[in-house]
Amino acid sequence: MFLRVLNLILICIMLMGCTSSSSEKMPKAVLVIHGGAGWISRGSVSYSMEQAYRNTLKESLLKGRSIIKSGGSSLDAVQIAIEHLEDSPLFNAGKGSVFTNNETNEMDSAIMDGATGNAGAATGIATIKNPIQVARAVLDHSVHVFLSGAGAEEFALEQGLRQVDSSYFFTQKNFDKLLEAKTSMMEVKQDKLGTVGAVALDQKGNLAAGTSTGGMTNKRFGRVGDSPIIGAGTYAENGVCGISATGHGEYFIRYVVAYDIAARIKYANQSIEKASTEVIETLKTKGGLGGVIGLDAAGTVVMPFNTKGMFRGYISLDGEPVVALYADD
């Protein structure tokens, strides 16, 4: 009897050790970013393009981290990291935004402060250089949470944000994708890559999350995806987690993906790893492709996705940036 009890105790100790070891292996960070999830797989882009993606992601991480290292806020770190990705034609946000059926660019963005629960979002942005700045201005200076179209742009101009001619957002590759979609009379369903997002944890323990996108190629009727919808594509709550999503927005809206992850952590006491992985795996069974990035209150990094690849990366307070593109990175 004594030996049986002793064996049970030893087994329990071993299991506890394995659980602790697994938890310790999860990377810790102050900033995590994504550049979209979708068709990307090893060999599908040239070496030079792959390096361009990796370098831009690293630059974004370093810029965002510099804010936190200097004692700045997680909100500022998220905004700066996303602005850098918006300024690159490589991603479907800001400069690299895809075209609507009407051959225009309509961009969406959102940002949320985990410390206060305040949020700002905008949709249908067409002439403001950095859409994430519109979301931040709404958070900081508006009694509303979500502004759209002409009203959002009017508000942005009142706040002194930089306006550009619509030609600024023109890229030949994205225009060619639109023409291809129109010719085939179909939406480009594989072209999910490019939405950008960031989640940060500052030195005061405050979480923030933000997302910015150009939406879907050939989208019609003022379509709005999940990126600017708080709880669907973007969510942050101190002590719980920050989440930014990318993928087929309709599914992320229907299943309130970002908040579902937070709720599992908050009410079911799940780890951020378990919560985010289960949500993204379940989403795929419903037909929803994409992924999320996230941090919990301890800075634990998650980056699950159910597609061939997701542009992603994270950085700690003192370490080098870590970036990945493919499922086997």
Question: Of residues 56, 100, 123, 195, which has the active-site annotation?
Answer: 195
Question: Using CA of residue 84, residue 86, residue 92, residue 96, what is the dihedral sign?
Answer: negative
d(CA 11, CA 153): 62
d(CA 329, CA 311): 10
The two three-digit tokens of residue 222, written as one number:
């003022």
195 has catalytic annotation: yes
3-class SS letters over the chain: CHHHHHHHHHHHHHHHHHHHHHHHHCCECCEEEEEEEECCCCCCCCHHHHHHHHHHHHHHHHHHHHHHHCCCCHHHHHHHHHHHHHCCCCCCCHHHCCCCCCCCCCEEEEEEECCCCCEEEEEEECCECCHHHHHHHHHHHCCCCEEEHHHHHHHHHHCCCCECCHHHHCCHHHHHHHHHHHHHCCCCCCCCEEEEEEEEECCCCCEEEEEEECCCCCCCCCCCCCCCCECCCEEEECCCEEEEEEECHHHHHHCCHHHHHHHHHHHCCCCHHHHHHHHHHHHHHCCCCEEEEEEECCCEEECCECCCEEEEEEECCCCCCEEEEECCC
Please list the active-site residues.
Answer: 195
